[in-house]
Structure 1
């Protein structure tokens, strides 16, 4: 049985559809990113997953318990199995680091000795040794988020929901928090769902991505699946634009849809981990007498795997066999257009 089973949920506010027939399953130990533009339905989905909203249609099962039909007393117990990490930390200034982390345990009536042991474990886990007595105002943004993560883990949840958990952080701190969450997933086997509008975050963190658009689930797959489908789906291509190499403006101005005498094709390739060590440019030259220039891109990390994502200009008379070769070694290939050969 999946840890989380979402079955045909729909939710509306004042006649406006926020979620429209959304279904998916999340297995134990998965890291899943949920992404979409503003208004796509991400926040509504989060509130439904943690039982703060009840969808008008469909079911949400957490470990077999239907969150949409539980009574309030049962919901209180079910919510303890869900940890929440917020964008703006939501820490209590009146409490120390240790006091903030202990709050869920105190609400649950956990014995004080057990609370102290658990808080000490979590402070060590999130890398805040020596900070237990500090107030939130004495902490950096990254440290505050570490406190928020520790607090979310206090009751031993089965599912960790992160709501734009890195949006308020600088790039270096974002990387550190993503590394912490990845380590927690590895060490505890905890299922993590990260809701964000930042494609770069899910690219580095999630092994699986759900894409919402106007309340509908339009994609469910790996980042490689999104790159492949983005060739045909402009909605997905727009999301990917933030993390994929783009043709420089000077090249865009000269790009022609159809070839002309002396023009050179410009192609976009993604090459999976099995072929990233291939000497691509020299192979094109020696085997097909094609001179290739990298216009943009190179080898990048996509969800933990090395992938080549690049735009190439191919010289002059490119034989059909060269295009066949490129299609065989790549996950996706598309011709963006043609430019004069002197570019």
Structure 2
């Protein structure tokens, strides 16, 4: 099998500010057409990594390769050319208020010295692509936040980039606009086969958009995988729990108040289970009902679709004489299981 060369690589990237490490030995590679989310809390190193990926700065150690070209070794005049192949979408749009929508989109083409007719054709094509046909003569002040971001995306695509980097591209938007922008980026990836990286602190954004996630924490890459991997690892890796907190099912208050860490006769065991694949729910609850005489209850959570695959992320309660047998069965059936605690039996 012929291995495809990655379009983007970070090799052992390390950088310090005033002796404090902002990034520590960051290595990953991304193939053409991948949709990747880079997530982390404030101070995790996301913004520093972004500046290296788009060749605005050079790390103290390590390499950044785009299409096999080491960006850390290029002179500034070469980097100017390379940056034209990297599209940037910003949190606060960065549109020029004195220019029309069409003129904002055309700006990269004007800087590159493209003929006027070519500029106009490309602008019209991009307006159609981002759903703003007929908006070319409007000004940014006449647009909603979601429409401004569509203009920002069109401008980033103007020069046919190899890579599209989105820096908190939905953070300034309302939920409806966020959904529309994520749908647009997904459509662009599908139509153009463009490699897209979205950098965000919002787990829900990468849940809905990214097929692969890189998680940063205090300058370290702590996870590289799918959201299913994250959900499965969340109980074992404490550094992931704050990132996952907003999207995971939570214990009902009445259960949380009764729950304790110590098992006791007749107690219900409370577990978080992650399961994936076809028929996520029926095999789990159906098999428990058929094999064991116990009370099995879904306390919170359910099934959703992630990257086209059904995934169950659930908090369940098991109580009965054969409870421990059922727990061993569940371990074999699901992708991951975490015991959260026990609810004592009250006759």
- Provide TM-score, normalisation by structure 2: 0.96
Alignment correspondent of 1:7: 11
**1:66 aligned partner:** 70
| Equivalent-residue separation in structure 2 for 1:317 and 1:87 (angstroms) | 55
* Cα separation, 2, equivalents of 1:115 and 1:134: 17
Contact in 2 for aligned 1:35/1:211 (Cα 8 Å): yes
In structure 1, the gaps of 5 or more residues are: none
Q: CA deviation at 1:279?
A: 5.1
Distance 1:321 1:96 in 2: 68
2:330 is aligned, of 326, 330, 343, to 326
1:225 — aligned with what? 229
Moved runs in structure 1, 4+ residues, more than 4 A? none
What is the match of residue 237 of structure 1? Answer: 241
**What residue in structure 1 maps to residue 258 of structure 2?**
254
- Is residue 2:269 matched to residue 1:265? yes
Choose which of 79, 91, 97 in structure 2 pairs with 1:93: 97
Question: Which residue does 1:124 correspond to in 2?
Answer: 128
Structure 1 residues 255 and 161, CA gap change in structure 2 (3 angstroms): same
Contact 2:263 2:344 in 1 (8 A): no
Which secondary structure state, in structure 2, belongs to the residue aligned with residue 184 of structure 1?
A: helix
Counterpart position of 1:184 = 188
Can you list the C-alpha shifts for 1:250-309, whole angstroms capped at 9, x where unaligned?
A: 322211112113211111111102241525334322321122111111112334422111
> 2:321 is paired with a residue of what secondary structure?
coil
SS in 2 for 1:149: helix
Mapped contact 1:275–1:329 kept (Cα < 8 A): no
Work out the CA distance in 2 between the residues paired with 1:54 and 1:288.
60
Task: Tell me how far apart the structure 2 counterparts of residues 180 and 306 of structure 1 sit (CA, whole Å).
Answer: 23
Please say if residues 89 and 145 of structure 1, whose CA atoms lie closer than 8 Å, have aligned partners that are also in contact: yes
Taking the aligned partners of 1:273 and 1:95, their CA distance within structure 2 comes to 50
In structure 2, the residue matched to 1:55 is 59
Size of the alignment, in residue pairs?
Answer: 343
Q: Which segments of 5 or more consecutive residues in structure 2 lack a partner in the other structure?
A: none
Aligned residue in 2 for 1:137: 141
Distance 1:188 1:80 in 2: 17
**Deviation digits for residues 38-69 of structure 1 (CA, Å, limit 9, x no counterpart):** 00000000011111111010111101111111
Indicate the larger mover: 254-263 or 52-61. 254-263
Aligned-partner SS, 1:68:
helix
Q: Contact conserved, 1:295 with 1:313, CA < 8 A, in 2?
A: yes
**Counterpart selection for 1:311 from 297, 302, 315:** 315
Residue 123 of structure 2 aligns to a residue whose secondary structure is: helix
How far is the alpha carbon of 1:341 from its aligned partner? 3.7
Secondary structure class of the residue paired with 2:206: helix
Shift of 1:173: 1.1
Shift of residue 342 of structure 1? 5.7
Go from structure 1 to structure 2 and tell me whether the alpha carbon gap of 1:320 and 1:261 turns closer, same or farther (over 3 Å shift). closer
Show the counterpart of 2:170. 166
